[in-house]
Each structure stands twice: as structure tokens, then as C-alpha cells.
Structure 1
Amino acid sequence: MSNTAEAKPGRLAGRVALVTGASRGIGAAIARAYAKEGAELILTARTVGGLEEIDDEIRAISGKTSLLVPFDLKDFDNIDRLGAALYERFGRLDVLVGNAGALGTLSPLGHISPKEFQEVIDLNLTANWRLLRVMDPLLRQSAAGRAIFVTSGAARGPRAYWGTYAISKAALEMMVGIYAQEIQQTKVRANLIDPGRARTRMRAKAYPGEDPQSLKAPDEIMEPFITLATATFTGNGEVVKAQ
């Protein structure tokens, strides 16, 4: 009898997962966590180099190669093309993680340029709606489709100077809540995760005087991202705090 314990399959073994904004920060941490749990990964980000770096990490973790899709989510036609490509390749999508986002400028509302306002709304809200619109049929093809979106405490209650970011996240929460009600009678579930105070580039931009070592690293707050992606999680329309 072997003394070596048989490796247990991960909680996401065989599940096809799409993660946006996967080249760094929370997105990269999600990719690593999902790789450890056995998921088949599709990763998007704007930077080819960043995606290749995280793919190298994933191969070291699981021995698998991810499907890398470098593009700007604000190019909405690419989202449509991605949906068609995933249908051809997999025929379904088990997990959608809408993580990519932009902070924008923290300033009085009247000082934000129309161009910047639109860019933040396009990425934080409209791109996620386009993802839901395109990926919904694929999620319904899964035995247990799961949609997860990253939100923020800034979405709940007015916060001076947080302008476009807070507006976009509040709208995102409303959108996901509506979608959750619409899919209640299906096998798909949609929820949001608020990562809280995590050591990310966006957090450093928002709080430049903060000691980053006082914050948890993204890899330390991954348990909710894994749990909500499992076939056994049945919560729907919830906002889950990671810490």
C-alpha cells in the first residue's frame, strides 16, 4: 500500500472559468486560486506580457495552459467575439468573474471630464453588462453557471469625491441584483464580492499615504471567490465581503 495520499480533485475541477482583469492584483490572485482548485481558465487583460506572466505561474501550479485573450474590455465588439469563440471551444461557461475595473480621478464631480467619466462607466459597468449579455446563454449551458462581480464599499452610500467610481459600482450592484432575480428559476447564480482593504495598485492610488503592509495581499482573500464559483453554492443576488 502506498504511503502517498491520493490527490483530491479541486473544488473547481473541470469547471471553465473566465476572469477579466487577470494580469495583476485581485484578478491574478483569482486566476492562481482557481488554478489550484482545478479550473480551466480563460484570462483577459489589456497587457499581453502580464497575461503571459500569470500563465507561467498557472502552469507551475497546475501544469495547465490558460486561454489568454488580450484586449480592452471597452472594445465591446471583442466581448461579443469572445462569447462566440467560447461557445465554439467549450459549448458552455461555468464561471464568469467580472473583475476588471478603473478608479478614475477622485475629485469633485464637476471637475471630472466627460471623457474620463465615460471611460470609467464603460469599463466598470457597461463592459460587465455586455459580458452578462453575451455569456448568459453559455452560463445557462452549464450544470451550475456562476457569475461573480467585484464591487466596493464605495457603492453603498454617498462618498464625497469618489464620483464616477462609486456611481459605477452602485449601478453594477443594481444590475447584478436585477440579473439575479431574472435567473432565479434557472441553474445560474449571480453575486458580488467586496474585497475590502486589499493590497492592490488601485488601493494605493486611492490611499497614497497608507502603509501597504497593513493590508492583506489579494491571495489572502480568495476563499469567497472560490466558494461562490462552486456548483454547490446556491446564494443569489448577494454582496459578500471578502474580509
Structure 2
Amino acid sequence: MLDLSGRIAVVTGASRGIGYFTALELARAGAHVIACARTVGGLEDLDDSIKALGGSATLVPFDLADMNAIDALGGAIFERWGKLDILVANAGVLGTISPIGHVEAKVFEKVMTVNVTATWRLIRSLDPLLQKSDQGRALILTSSLAHRCKPFWGPYSASKAAVEALARTWANEIERLPLKVISVDPGGTRTAMRAQAYPGEDPETLPHPHEVARVIAGLAGPDMNETGKLYLVREQRFAEYTQP
């Protein structure tokens, strides 16, 4: 059974979907969850659910496009706890499904800002805190589209490829430390983003976010000793990256 008692965990995009249920699973295992999202109502609902389990959370409502807020998050965690044990970098935006040449500049820039730049900024802000943990774990959510590069998915695919590159580079830089960093591909899941991307799809054919969240939460435990790899939730296995 997963035991995260005394652990401090940050989850971004925690107000709904995979982030919401991952935060819930981490709290169920005993972690104190620092839940980050734009939607205050969703965070408050999460807080109620965590309290119902007997767990605890700190709600941090902010937009990941606010880089100063990300920096402030790291400072606040240091002042209160002095360390961080778990990061689940889940939040992201889809953008538009469109030919590359038709994507508006503001849409492309938003996808890159939220999905890539904010992830780098989270790493920059939280890496020193994760290194203070005896068993730090960083889970960076990605997508198969980082590799498949389907037509019309250019901005999202490019952003996830960049996120995976950040995660792999980070893992290589700290490979001699207790901190482990992996990319996590949840696969198709019954979320609002999935419905936006595939409006004609029957959501009942997809796993519920709570099913995916149980697997992701397990990867944050002390028994997860892989680093610099890609974990495929639907297949429940690690995949090796092809080295150049």
C-alpha cells in the first residue's frame, strides 16, 4: 500500500481531471498536497474531498502563465516546509487543432508558455527543494503526440516534445542524486481536454481520471527508482528513449 505520510507534494492543474484525482490519491496516501490551478471553485471542491479522507491540502490559485507566481511558490514552500518531496507537473492547454500555417500567433504562444515555459519555471523554482528531500520524485506529464506528430496537432505535439526534453535533461543532470525524474504519458483519458480534442468520441470508452491517477500516484512513492524514462500509464510500463 502506498504510504506518503509526511511527504509534501505539489500538483498543478489540480482543480479537475487527472490533476484533481492525482492530488486526491496522494492525499489518501498521507501526503500534504499543495494544489495549484486557476479555478478556485475546483480547488475548494478538492479541498473538501481531501478533508473527507482525513487528509490536508494547501490551495494555491494562480495561472501558470504567471512566472512570478511560480517563483513565489518555491519561496513559500521553502519558508514553510524547507523541502518538497513530490512534483506532479500536470497542467497544460491544448490550443487549437489546425494546420500549422493557420495557427494564430497568440494561440501558439499560449501553448508554449503554459506547457513549456511554465514547466521549465517550475523546475527552476522547485528543483532546489526537491533535492532537499531524501526521496524526491518529479513526474512530468506528457503525451504520445510528442512522438506521433499527427497532422494538425503541431503546437501541442511540439510543446510535449519540448517538455520531455526538459525532463530528460533534468534527470541526466541529477542522476547521482536521490531525486528521480520521469515523463508520464497517461494515454487517452475521460477529461475535458480530451472531449475538446475529440468531440465525437464516446467518453465511456476511455478510463476515468481516477483510474489513471492511482497509477500516477504510485509513481511518486519511494519504490519508484527509475529516472529519465517515459512511463506509459495505459500499458503500465516504462519505455526506454532511443538515444541519438
> Does TM, scored on the shorter chain, surpass 0.5?
yes
Q: Which runs of 5+ in 1 are unaligned?
A: 1-7
Alpha-carbon distance, 1:223 to partner: 3.5
Residue in structure 1 matched with residue 5 of structure 2 by the alignment: 13
Alpha-carbon distance, 1:242 to partner: 0.9
Matched, 1:145 2:136: yes
Correspondence for 1:36 among 25, 28, 43: 28
* Cα distance in 1, alignment partners of residues 214 and 197 from structure 2: 25
Q: Which amino acid aligns with 2:140?
A: F
Matched, 1:240 2:231: yes
Counting aligned pairs with the same residue, the percent is: 48
Q: Deviations over 1:154-173 (max 9, x none)?
A: 00132110011000001101
Alpha-carbon distance, 1:64 to partner: 2.9
* Cα distance in 2, alignment partners of residues 25 and 87 from structure 1: 28
Residue in structure 1 matched with residue 94 of structure 2 by the alignment: 103
Correspondence for 2:211 among 212, 215, 220: 220
* Cα distance in 1, alignment partners of residues 32 and 82 from structure 2: 13
Q: Which amino acid aligns with 2:148?
A: G
Q: Which structure 2 residues correspond to residues 78-97 of structure 1 after superposition, within 5 A?
A: 78-97=69-88
Q: Which amino acid aligns with 2:37?
A: A
* Cα distance in 2, alignment partners of residues 193 and 182 from structure 1: 19
Matched, 1:26 2:21: no
* Cα distance in 2, alignment partners of residues 213 and 223 from structure 1: 19
* Cα distance in 1, alignment partners of residues 91 and 212 from structure 2: 17
Greater radius of gyration (CA): 1
Q: Deviations over 1:66-113 (max 9, x none)?
A: 100000011000000110000000100000110000000000011111
Alpha-carbon distance, 1:224 to partner: 2.9
Residue in structure 2 matched with residue 194 of structure 1 by the alignment: 185
Correspondence for 1:157 among 131, 148, 154: 148
Alpha-carbon distance, 1:11 to partner: 1.8
SS at match of 1:66: strand
C-alpha contact 1:48 1:70 (8 A) present in aligned 2: yes
Q: Which amino acid aligns with 1:235?
A: E
* Cα distance in 2, alignment partners of residues 146 and 101 from structure 1: 20
Matched, 1:177 2:146: no
Q: Deviations over 1:23-68 (max 9, x none)?
A: 000000101111111111100000111100111011111x233100
Q: Which runs of 5+ in 2 are unaligned?
A: 235-244
Q: Between Structure 1 and Structure 2, how many residues are aligned?
A: 234
Correspondence for 2:46 among 54, 60, 64: 54
Residue in structure 2 matched with residue 132 of structure 1 by the alignment: 123
Residue in structure 1 matched with residue 241 of structure 2 by the alignment: none
* Cα distance in 1, alignment partners of residues 193 and 90 from structure 2: 12
* Cα distance in 2, alignment partners of residues 140 and 166 from structure 1: 30
**TM-score normalised by the chain length of structure 2:** 0.94
C-alpha contact 1:224 1:240 (8 A) present in aligned 2: no
* Cα distance in 2, alignment partners of residues 167 and 93 from structure 1: 29
**TM-score normalised by the chain length of structure 1:** 0.94
C-alpha contact 1:15 1:95 (8 A) present in aligned 2: yes
